[in-house]
Structure formats: structure tokens, C-alpha cells
Amino acid sequence: FSKSTLNRYYQMGTDALMNCLRDVLNEETGKSDYLMVDETCEVVAVEDKKTGETHYRKKYLWAFFDKVKKLVSYVYEKGSRSREVALKFLKDFCGCISTDGYVAYRIFDDAEKHPDITHVGCWVHARRYAIESLSSDHKNSLDIINTIAELFDVEYTCKVARLSDEERKMERLKKSVPVLTRLYAMVRTM
């Protein structure tokens, strides 16, 4: 075999193995009942098929994270940020997804179209908006940031105490619900 033929066979074998592993990983991640979903951009080299020139473009990579199993499925669909990427990955998903405020995720708020998916927001992303508003309304923004920190403290305490899922749920009901009630009242008055 020539070096180029051997390299081509090696590349074909590697591609086939990666496709198989990707499908298994995506299937296993999709079996979760809770996923954290996000998309991020990277600058990617793209070759112009007509001229052969390389251009750098902003493209998107999606991550579907199963925190319990510590599995992440990365999905790259030609760099698309379209909601179709998430819809395709989550088509058979049943459970809860946690996302940022990107408009593409709003489709999962429609319980008639997606009855098996509960869409929840992310407190880290919500806190980011309060941080960005510090310069315009320091006192109220700081109150919101500190109140969200109380929610994080409950989660940290549960983690350190190694509480079971049921114990964590009870702790959240006891401590997080009053914090959320207070936060809701603060935001409504603002």
C-alpha cells in the first residue's frame, strides 16, 4: 500500500468508528430526564469550493449535557445556530431541559407541541442580566444577585451533605421556595 492509500483507509476507519461512537453517545445522552443545553460559537476555517480559498466564519457548536451521567453530546450541524438542531436532537426526549434565554429555545415552552419537555431557565444566565444592570440600578441589581446567590448556597449545601435526590428535593422545598417567592416579589415591584 502506498502511504496515501493507507492514510485514506485509516481515515475511513476512524470516521466510521467516530460515527458509531457519536450515535451511541447521543442515544445515551438522550435517555436522560434532565439535560443542560447550550450553543457556543467558534471561528472556523471554511474553504470556498469555487476558489479554494480559506475564510474564517463564526459557526456554532451545540452541547447537550447530562449532569447525572457526566455525558456531553456535542452536535455540529454545518455551524448552524438554528433551532432545528435542538429539535432534531430532542425529538424523542422526555424530561426537563435547562437553557439560557436564546430565542430558539422558546419553542419548548409550547406544551402542546412538546408535551414531554419541560423547559426551565438557568439561574447563572439570569444572574448575568442582573450583573449587566449594576451600573444603571446598583441597589436593585445587587439585591437580585445576592438573592440568587442564596439559591446557589442551598445547592452547594446539598452537594456537600451528599443528600439523596429525595432529600435534596425536600431541602429545596424548605429553603429555595421561600427565596424564589421573595425574588419574584422583588422583580414584580421593580
User: Which ranges in 94-173 belong to alpha helices (H)?
Assistant: 123-132, 138-160, 165-171
pLDDT at residue 141 in the model: 94
pLDDT over threshold 80, residue 1:
no
CB 148 within 8 A of CB 140: no
pLDDT at residue 99 in the model: 93
pLDDT at residue 60 in the model: 93
CB 40 within 8 A of CB 82: no
DSSP track, 18-63: HHHHHHHHHHHHHT-SEEEEEEEEEEEEEE-TTT--EEEEEEEEEE
| CA distance linking residue 135 with residue 140, whole number of Å | 11
Question: Which of the four pLDDT bands, split at 50, 70 and 90, describes residue 21?
Answer: confident
pLDDT in tens, 29-81: 989 999 999 999 989 888 888 898 998 989 999 999 998 899 999 998 988 99
Q: What is the pTM of this model?
A: 0.75
Question: Which of the four pLDDT bands, split at 50, 70 and 90, describes residue 167?
Answer: very high
pLDDT at residue 96 in the model: 95
pLDDT at residue 68 in the model: 87
Tell me the pLDDT of the chain averaged across its residues. Answer: 92
pLDDT in tens, 28-42: 998 999 999 999 998
CB 169 within 8 A of CB 126: no
pLDDT in tens, 89-146: 999 999 999 999 899 999 999 989 999 999 998 899 889 999 999 999 999 999 999 9
| CA distance linking residue 13 with residue 8, whole number of Å | 9
pLDDT in tens, 149-165: 999 999 999 999 999 98
pLDDT at residue 20 in the model: 83
pLDDT at residue 101 in the model: 86
pLDDT at residue 34 in the model: 94
Contacts with 96 (C-beta within 8 Å, 6 or more apart), sequence order: 33, 34, 35, 117, 118, 119, 120
Name the strand (E) or helix (H) holding 182: helix 177-189
